[in-house]
């Protein structure tokens, strides 16, 4: 199974935050699953850190993601093309980009955001 982490799930994973459910943690740690972090999430988290809304590790997130054994998905034009066809359910552009990536890359999106579940994208 290919799993794409929503930005908040990525942050919870990196912080070992107990808000990440045990079931989700087990899913992410399963040896046969490929776990992806998106460049979109990196951008969102860095913007929030720059605004003082959250703290992040001092190391670049790309390094931290690699050290955690996660694969990184860059946002590409084919992901952008899918954005156009998404219904305007969710207004957060970062979440809409993650939905598009999950659809194009055939990933299950790991999220706790109920608005994302209204899209035709597989979620956990």
- Could you give all domains of the chain from N- to C-terminal order, each with its CATH number? 2-118 (3.40.50.1010)
Q: What is the dihedral of CA 20, 21, 26, 29, to 10 degrees?
A: 0
At residue 58 the predicted structure's pLDDT band, cuts being 50, 70 and 90, is confident
| Per-residue model confidence as pLDDT tens digits over 83-107 | 999 999 988 999 999 999 999 999 9
The pLDDT assigned to 111 comes to: 95
User: Does the pTM exceed 0.85?
Assistant: yes
The pLDDT assigned to 90 comes to: 86
Residue 81: pLDDT above 90?
Answer: yes
DSSP letters, 9-54, are: HHHHHHHT-TTS-HHHHHHHH-TT-EEEEEHHHHHHHHHHHHTTS-
> Could you tell me which residues come within 8 angstroms of residue 69 by beta carbon, excluding any fewer than 6 positions away?
35
């Amino acid at each position: 199974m290919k799993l794409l982490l929503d930005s908040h799930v990525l942050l919870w994973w990196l912080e070992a935050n107990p808000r990440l459910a045990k079931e989700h943690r087990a899913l992410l740690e399963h040896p046969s699953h490929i776990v992806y972090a998106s460049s979109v999430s990196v951008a969102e988290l860095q913007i929030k850190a720059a605004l003082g809304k959250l703290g992040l590790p001092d190391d670049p997130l790309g390094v931290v993601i690699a050290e955690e054994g996660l694969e990184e998905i860059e946002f590409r034009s084919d992901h952008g093309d899918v954005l156009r066809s998404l219904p305007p359910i969710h207004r957060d552009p970062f979440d809409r980009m993650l939905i598009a990536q999950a659809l194009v890359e055939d990933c299950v999106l790991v999220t706790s955001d109920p608005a994302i579940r209204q899209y035709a994208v597989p979620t956990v």
